[in-house]
Amino acid sequence: MMRQITSSLSPGIAVFIVSLVSSSAPSPAAQAQATADPGASAEQETGRKTRAETLQEMREEKSRELSPESVSRWEARIRGWEETQFPRNWLVKGWNGFRPVFGGMPSGSGFVLGAGYIHGLAAQYFQAQANARFSTRGYTMLDGEAVFPPPQVGRRVELKFRAQYRDLTSLQFYGLGNDSSVESQSFYQLEDTLFGGYAWLNPRGLLSFAAEGGFLRAETSSGSEQPSVGDEFPAVEIPGFDAPRTDYSVVGGWVEFDVRDKWEDPQVGLVARITGLRYDDTVVNAFDFTRVVADVKGYVPLGPKSRILALRLRTSHSTADIGDAVPFYLMETLGGAKSIRGFNEFRFQDTRNLLVNVEYRWEVWTFADFAFFFDAGKVFADEEDFDFKDMHTGYGFGIRGHAPGDVTLRFDFAHSTEGFKLHISGGPSF
Amino acid sequence: MSKKTCAFLLATLILGARQLPGQKFRTDDPIHADDDRLDTPQEPAHIRLSDAYDRFGHIFHDFGRSAIGSEAVNVNTLDEVPNSTWFTNRHSIKRMSVEELQRGPNRSAGPHPNETWTVFKGKSQGLTPGFEVRDGKGDRYVIKLDPVDIPELSSAAEVIATKIFYAIGYHVPENYIVRYHPDRFEIEPGTQVEDQFGDQSPLTRWRFRRMIRRVPRLSDGSMRLTASKYIPGIPIGPFRYHETRSDDPNDIFPHEDRRELRGLRLIAAWTNHDDTRAHNTQDTWVNENGKGYIQHYLLDFGSTFGSGSVDMQLPNLSFQYWLDLEQVKKNMVGFGFVVPPYRHVKWPEFPEYQAVGRWEGTYFDPEGWRNDYPNPAFVRMTPRDAFWAAKLIMSFTPEELQAIVETGEYSRPEWSQYFLKVLIERQQKCGRFGINGVNPLDELRVTETGLEFTNLSEKYGFVDDRTSYRVSWSIYNNAADTVEAIGEAATQKETRLSLPTGVLTTGEENLFLGVDIRSLHDDHPEWNKPVRVYLRRRGQSYQVVGIDRES
């Protein structure tokens, strides 16, 4: 081995190395042998060199063996990706604004992929985008929106205009009421078009106000999957099913009180929002109703902020005008990745609902946390049932990854009386 | 066997050769300068490192070749770092005046605020823009701005850190705090600006004004900014904290085994320079009098003290790695009851002390401090490396540190006072950690009355003065590497030893006086490991020529 090491070096340096790696305190016999050894003179010669001379010699030795400095093939490749900002540029900016889009459809749509165009990513005043999305369940969505100013700029007022068309071909429906059976699963198709917008004053401030309004056109029919809603339920029991295409004017607004420590992955504080919306059926005059939603989320650190208790209480009440009804496709639902996770998406549905979520979250990494959660909720039609009785419950364990820009990837493993569910979704649970 | 390995073997023991029969001391030991400026006539390759590769590579793999616990290889026989293109002993060897400390590496007054600066390069990534200018004299500067909502944060940190690292001995750029009126900027025709996606577009005057419109203005309309002068030579990319450059004949010591890079860990802990990684270094090829060589710099001190460069320092960084696998494992199974250390920290009041950032000394632990991600040199820091660094850290008096902090030009005196208070707290902690980690005897000198030394731990008040010393003399044969005891060991309180007389005579150039000194202190049994001092006869007197210090 040492012969190999020293083969390319000058005799003096080689002797020097041999000396370095040999035993530190030679025996007298070894010393005697060294004296008789012809190499000993070389050793002595090396020993007489100054430290500076030896260092100089080593450098001269290396100068005869220089090779261009480089980085590994892998490092060069990754560096190339960094320079092109792959995949960020592909996903966010795309090619001249044309880019792939993921998600953006209602929960339970399956994997959603599409293409879009965005303008104004680097702009200070205005951002616009248009997208076409398709899901593995066969859903289609076309949407466009314009935001003043764009999200990356903090302003006192935010204006947003949105237009969207959706063809959701196989939405699930289990019947109305808190006692619906999972065995009654049926499907329907919802095709709707929305033009709307809002003006939000002091967004992300302590107290903010918004006014919103728009036009909604909706139509339902039998879904692409069987059984259809009409097969499972009498049409007269399901308001809005098989009704002609209906147009709504929608006006409303919200008030929000926000004392969270931060908007992305908050660890302490509270945000409460009350939303009021008025739906006026402008075609058949059978589905005029008013909706009021209260949503309160609190974040309580249990000692240090590395473990927090996150709580949510949400209730929604839709009240139809006398003689009218709330169409089933505009009723809010419970079940799925953002409500009671032990149940299927859309599992419970009625004009009113009450939802409680409790999560114990703990920090695993700056960009990841684990959680145990407990969910409970009910739907009901009569306001006298607005209490905590007969709640459906579920519990589970979640893993969440966070990236800058409020991007969250969430895996929730949940259990309820209807078995185990795995939800893989984007965005926070609440 | 690769050439790198050959070089490694050569380098491993050369400067601090301890075990070489007949070779322990050369006639020129101890060397105080390592002339690593052997001519490199050809311009070396310009390398560019990948941020992600470097980050994740070091998190999941140790690129260093030497064993953890092995000692640095580029020290001289006094266990000190000779001057080189990597490091120049400054304040600790020849005390710098207050003026010199405040001046630091700066060789001029910087770009003059009354001259026109010409912008020739720009970037508008994020909310904090950056650009490069040429001043009236033609000197080029990188212009850095404070976070728009935290004036003074990164500019003060950058300049103060520059002065400290320079005084310690590292090569750093000239950094100036300048107040400049935005109307004075000119745009060089053809200048491009790069947006957050890497796209280039022409930098017009209108666009430049938009870029800087959020930068806070002072009362006279000017902006406070940091001007970092281009360093001399041709930039050829960063140096890694491991291995050597294959095209640099002077680079014979593996970087992870360089004392100044290992000891940098403790200095970085003191100054909270968590961004100590290859990307914040720069090698330049200097051509001097027709002779080329590579000079090594530390760059970018914006992420030091309480500053995180574009914001306040993140609370978790410096208490754990960016991805600290050990901490992650603990957190996963801890169900939230294993609390990461940084969560206990009480930071200064914000926003009152935002300009100072997340800067504190109470919870700071030099041993537990972490930089952004594992650094091969840092993970190899031994107690001897830490001792070396601690001596440098402790070489600053409070008055000197105050003078350096003044160069940060905080607009409110309470910010400077708080900054200084924490800096001194952390200095004391680093000093205690590094100096008490080994038998802390140093400043060995031969005087007319004998051999004198200083117990640095007592000198800096880290222990009481109850230390006594067990001393045993010997004769060291440099030719045979043998030691022959002289007399009996003795115990004493004094830090002055009388030299044995009549033991060595002039002309016995291979014989050295040796003395083992063990420090006996009830609180520090580890100090019982001896410091062995070697004295070479020089005429009628002796010279301290070597120190063996056990880790």
CA distances from A117 to A86, A311, B189, B270 (A): 18, 37, 33, 49
Please indicate if any CB of chain A lies within 8 Å of the CB of B174: no
Match 């000079």 to its residue by tokens.
B295
Give which of A234, A317, A247 is closest to A287, Cα–Cα.
A247
- In sign, the C-alpha dihedral spanning A123, A128, A130, A135 is positive
Inform me whether the pLDDT recorded for A127 exceeds 70: yes
| Cα gap B476→B371, rounded to integer Å | 42
Any CB–CB contact under 8 A between B51 and chain A?
A: yes
Which tens digit of pLDDT belongs to each residue from B463-485? Answer: 998 899 999 999 999 988 999 99
Helix (H) or strand (E) holding B144: strand B140-145
Residue B527: what residue type? W
| Tens digit of each residue's pLDDT (9 = 90 or more) over B333-370 | 999 999 888 999 999 989 899 999 999 999 999 999 99
Nearest-Cα distance to chain A for B425, in Å, is 25
Q: Which residues does chain B have within 8 Å of residue A47's beta carbon, measured at their own beta carbons?
A: 20, 22-23, 26, 479
Question: Measured between alpha carbons, how far is B317 from B324 in angstroms, rounded to an integer?
Answer: 10
Residue A48 has pLDDT above 90, yes or no: no
Start-end of H helices in A24-68:
28-36, 39-48, 51-63
Gap between the Cα atoms of A107 and A410, Å rounded: 13
Tell me if chain A has a CB within 8 Å of the CB of B195: yes
Q: What is the mean pLDDT of chain A?
A: 87
Q: What is the pLDDT along chain B (551 residues), one digit of tens a residue?
A: 344 444 444 444 445 444 444 479 999 999 999 999 999 988 999 999 999 999 999 999 999 999 999 999 999 999 999 999 999 999 999 999 999 999 999 999 999 999 999 999 998 755 567 899 999 999 999 999 999 899 999 999 999 999 999 999 999 999 999 999 999 999 999 999 988 788 888 999 998 998 898 899 999 999 999 999 999 999 999 999 999 999 999 999 999 999 999 999 999 999 999 999 999 999 999 998 889 999 999 999 999 999 999 999 999 999 999 999 999 999 999 999 998 889 999 999 898 999 999 999 999 999 999 999 999 999 999 999 999 999 999 999 999 999 999 999 999 999 999 999 999 999 999 999 999 999 999 999 999 889 999 999 999 999 998 899 999 999 999 988 999 999 899 999 999 999 998 777 766 788 999 999 999 999 999 999 999 999 998 888 899 999 999 87
Q: Is any Cβ of chain A less than 8 angstroms from the Cβ of B14? A: yes
Q: State the Cα–Cα distance between residues B233 and B249, nearest whole angstrom.
A: 18
Question: Is the pLDDT confidence value at A13 over 50?
Answer: no
pLDDT at position B266 is: 98
Average pLDDT over residues A256-265: 91
Q: Which residues of B touch A268 (CB under 8 A)?
A: none
Residue pLDDT, tens place only, A151-166 = 766 678 999 999 999 9
Q: In angstroms, what separates the C-alpha of B309 from chain A's closest C-alpha?
A: 17
Mutate which: A31, A46, A49, A55, vs B, most B CBs within 10 A: A55
Higher pLDDT, B524 or A26: B524
Q: Name which of A22, A46, A124, A366 to mutate to probe chain B: the one with the most chain B Cβ atoms within 10 A of its Cβ.
A: A366
Cα dihedral B392→B398→B402→B405 (10° resolution): 40
Return residues 242-261 of B near A (CB < 8 Å): 245-252
- Of the pLDDT bands very low, low, confident and very high (cuts 50, 70, 90), residue A14 is very low
Residue B217 burial (CB < 10 Å; 0-12/13-18/19+)? Answer: middle
Tell me the torsion sign for CA atoms B520, B526, B528, B531.
negative
- 3-class SS letters over B450-497: EEEEEEHHHHCCCCCCCCEEEEEEEEEECCCCEEEEEEEEEEECCCEE
Three-class SS state of A10: coil
Q: How far is CA B117 from the centre of its chain?
A: 32
Looking at chain A, the whole-number percentage of residues with pLDDT higher than 90 is: 71
Q: From CA B268, how far away is CA B264, in angstroms rounded?
A: 6
Bridge partners, A354 (sequence order): A315, A378
Q: Report the residue from B44, B250, B336 with minimal CB separation from A69.
A: B44
Q: In chain B, which residues have their Cβ closer than 8 Å to the Cβ of A62?
A: 3, 7, 249, 251-252
Considering only CA atoms, which of B56, B50, B48, B47 is closest in space to residue B374? B56
Please determine, for residue A261, whether its predicted confidence score (pLDDT) is greater than 60: yes
Degrees, nearest 5: CA angle B475-B477-B483: 50
3-state secondary structure (DSSP) of residue B118 = strand
Sign of CA dihedral B234, B239, B245, B251: positive
Using DSSP, state whether A93 is helix, strand or coil.
Answer: helix
Q: In the structure, what pLDDT confidence band is assigned to residue A241 with cuts at 50, 70 and 90?
A: confident
CA distance B285 to B283: 7
Least CB-CB distance to B328: which of A8, A25, A364?
A: A364
State the smallest CA–CA distance between residue A13 and chain B in angstroms: 8
Q: Is residue B262 within 8 Å of residue B314, measured between CB atoms?
A: no
| Distance (Å, whole) CA B119 – CA A56 | 44
Please give, rounded to a whole number of angstroms, the shortest distance from the CA of B39 to a CA of chain A.
Answer: 9
Tokens representing residue B139 in the block: 């000197």
SS (HEC) of A278-318 = EEEECCCCCCCEEEEEEEEEEEEECCCCCEEEEEEEEEEEE
Whether the CB-CB separation of B441 and B398 falls below 8 Å is answered with no
CB-CB under 8 Å, B14 with A58: yes
For position B211, what pLDDT does the model report?
A: 87
Q: Which chain A residues contact residue B479 at CB under 8 A?
A: 47
Are the beta carbons of B9 and A17 separated by less than 8 Å? yes
Find which of A23, A51, A54, A79 to mutate to test the B interface (most B CBs within 10 Å of its CB). Answer: A51
Asked if B234 has any chain A CB less than 8 Å from its own CB, the reply is no
Q: What DSSP letter does each residue of B282-351 carry, written as one string?
A: EEEEEEETTEEEEEEEE---SSSTBB-SSSBPPSSBTTB-TT-HHHHHHHHHHTT-S--GGGG--PPPTT
Q: Is B542 helix (H, G, I), strand (E, B) or coil?
A: strand
Q: How confident is the model at residue A24 (pLDDT cuts 50, 70, 90)?
A: very low
Nearest to B372 by CA among B441, B294, B303, B301: B303
Q: How much is the pLDDT for B126?
A: 54
The DSSP code for A228 is B
Tens of pLDDT, residues B143-173: 999 998 999 999 999 999 999 999 999 999 9
User: Tell me, what DSSP letter sits at residue A79?
Assistant: H
Whether the pLDDT of residue A22 is over 60: the answer is no
**Cβ distance of B247 and A26 shorter than 8 Å:** no
**Contact criterion met (CB below 8 Å) for A41 and A47:** no
The verdict on a CB contact (< 8 Å) between A59 and B29 is no
What pLDDT does A236 receive? 87
B7 → chain A, closest CA residue: A62
Q: Which domains does chain A have, with CATH numbers?
A: 145-396 (2.40.160.50)
Return the exposure string of A36-56: e unless at least 16 CB atoms fall within 10 Å of the residue's CB, then b: eeeeeebbeebbebebbebbb
ipTM, two decimals: 0.90
B368 touches chain A (CB under 8 A): no
pLDDT tens digits, B435-459 = 999 999 999 999 988 999 999 999 9
Taking CA atoms, what residue in A is nearest to B333? Answer: A364
Model pLDDT, residue B2: 45
Instruction: Give the residue carrying structure tokens 């926070």.
Output: A428
Nearest Cβ partner for A71 among B22, B47, B339: B47
Residue A28 confidence (pLDDT) above 60: no
Per-residue pLDDT reduced to its tens digit, B108-137: 999 999 999 999 999 875 556 789 999 999
**Chain B contact set for A5 (CB, 8 A):** 1, 5-6, 9
What are the start-end ranges of the H helices in B41-170?
51-60, 98-103, 153-168
Comparing C-alpha atoms, which of B166, B545, B551, B170 is closest to residue B385? B551
Q: Which of B45, B197, B328 sits opposite A93 (nearest CB)?
A: B197
Residue of B nearest to A66 (CA): B247
From the CA of B458, how many Å to the nearest CA of chain A?
Answer: 34
Other Cβ atoms less than 10 A from the Cβ of A272: the count is 15
Inter-chain Cβ pairs, chain A and chain B, closer than 8 A: 188
